[in-house]
Amino acid sequence: MSFAIDHTGDFVPTETRNDLKSRLGNVPARAQPNPIIAISRRRTDACLVPDVLGISALSALYLPYHPSHVFDRSDSVHRLGGTSPASCTSPLHAAVRSARETQTDELIDTRLPLPRRPRLTTVAFFFVPPSLERLIVHHSPLPSFEHLMPITERPAEIFVRGEGAWLWDSAGKRYLDWLQGWAVNALGHCPPLITQALQAQSTQLLTPSPAVYNLPALKLAERLCELSGFDQVFFGSTGAEVNEGAIKLARKWGRTRRAGAHEIITFENSFHGRNLATMAASGKAGWDQLFRPQMPGFAKSRLNDLESVLQAINERTVAVMLEPVQGEAGVRPASPAFLRALRQLCDERGLLLIFDEIQTGCGRLGHLFGFQQSGVKPDIMTLGKGLGGGVPISAVLAQKHCSVFEYGDQGGTYAGNPLMCAVSLEVLEVLRQPDFLAHVRSVGRLLRSGLEDLSTHEGLGEVRGAGLLLALELDDEAAPTLVRECRAQGLLVNAARPNCLRFMPRLNSTVEEVQHGLTTLGAVLRQVRNPAKVAA
């Protein structure tokens, strides 16, 4: 029986590889071998398979293969080897038939799609003893889309694996990921430190109850306060959850310290989450018409316009809440001067200043916390996304004078979950290092410079942002088209607005990744904007 391992065989877990290596040492040399079939666009990738499995000493057959030899791209290894016409003389068909006749009784239909584009491909056959067959990983049929609620338009690709800066879809295509889960994967996809932290903590304590203390939560709260200068923390799972927690905290403070004041000034084009309170707080166009009646208590001002804030203040006002950089609006920063003026205004009027740092915190701007860039410290700050590096955890931090929750005011089933807190501790230990943050700033400058060069060459608009949260303004509304074409070329980016592209690479991006992404983006810009010129 033979099995297909797609591409380099990286789907085989570490424990499987180790088990393979261990058991190979006990297999008689003359045991009947069976083939593993590996398909890769590069011979060097296919040749990695035996090393990945620890079977490099066993026999192997490598064949160059061109996708034009395939009758139908959806053909599986089974159909190619078992049902294709006997008259076919392509190297792949002949080799599979030969392997089938001499080494195995049957080929498994793995539904492994072959490459879409006419590139040279290597097909490799590796032979292992029957005793190891159960350990080989192969594809199962892909599930249907119909059972997920259609909450957003998604591309047809199904992503099955990530490593560092890269994602792979179910067809084996590789993508440079400049979304990273919307700035969630601070260290890229599946960094070993997260895998190790999850494995270690999952053998000790998963979740006891938010009504009792656990060690990872206490350690993480202490470390966050030490690094930020805040005094107390409440943990959640999502950004919306802790932003709502910040709103509740401000309202509780207003009730006890400001004669019942409860209104919060937020900003046009802001984004604070998708529960009812944070949608009302957000300034996203059209959201006031969804799920009516909208929750009251939020007045809207304009970013970087202090006069509009002054006009919104009344006796019911308790706080001003904003993102240091409005990500969903197209990466629009609040100016340092505006933030300083807000801090002074809040101090003079006895109001709280709340920073939503769900996206800008945890190293994204090149500082551990966004407020450190301007030197303006809020009374309350929320964190999320990069705080877990890919796992769901968020936090609301407060200074002592406004940390007024009492028993029963706030809670959550997974608040301070030890599994997530253990991961966050490891991620934070990397993010806090001065050399790491210097790297974020350095690579961010490189990406920004490259985007500015593309903008100049193509006659586009400004480049905005800091660190590795950047946006490129277009001169038309082609951003969705550019996103689709970039994806087709193996680059994932975001259309924050119809006329704006947003880039959120992993914080430990390499120079080579940035150069690769800029080259791809530049080619797509030229193709979409000047197709006739490119064709010529």
Helix axes 43-53, 14-24, angle to 10 degrees: 70
Rounded (5°) CA angle 268-273-275: 115
Alpha-carbon distance 209 to 212, whole Å?
A: 6
Based on the residue annotation, tell me whether 271 is a catalytic residue of this protein.
yes
Neighbours of 87 (CB within 10 A): 6
Catalytic choice (127, 230, 235, 271): 271
Taking a C-beta distance cutoff of 8 angstroms, is the pair 476, 530 a contact? no
Count of H helices and E strands in the chain? 17, 21
| CB within 8 Å of 516: residues ≥ 6 apart | 176
Alpha-carbon distance 74 to 289, whole Å?
A: 45
Q: What is the residue type of 104?
A: T
Helix axes 511-529, 434-458, angle to 10 degrees: 20
Alpha-carbon distance 491 to 460, whole Å?
A: 20
Give me the residue label for tokens 């959850």.
241
Taking a C-beta distance cutoff of 8 angstroms, is the pair 3, 38 a contact? no
Alpha-carbon distance 501 to 375, whole Å?
A: 28
User: For the CA atoms of 339, 345, 351, 353, what is the dihedral angle to 10 degrees?
Assistant: 0
Token digits for 448? 């920004």
Alpha-carbon distance 431 to 85, whole Å?
A: 58
Based on the residue annotation, tell me whether 385 is a catalytic residue of this protein.
yes
Q: What's phi and psi for 381, nearest 5 deg?
A: -135, 140
Q: Give me the half-sphere count of Cα atoms (radius 13 Å) on the Cβ side of residue 511.
A: 3
Cα R_g (the chain), whole angstroms: 27
Token digits for 335? 């100016």
Catalytic choice (6, 45, 177, 356): 356
Alpha-carbon distance 379 to 356, whole Å?
A: 11
Based on the residue annotation, tell me whether 75 is a catalytic residue of this protein.
no
Catalytic choice (177, 298, 385, 405): 385
Helix H, strand E, coil C: the string for 207-247 is CCCCCCCCHHHHHHHHHHHHHHCCCEEEEECCHHHHHHHHH
Max Cα separation, the chain?
Answer: 89
Alpha-carbon distance 373 to 370, whole Å?
A: 6
User: Which residues participate in catalysis according to the annotation?
Assistant: 271, 356, 385
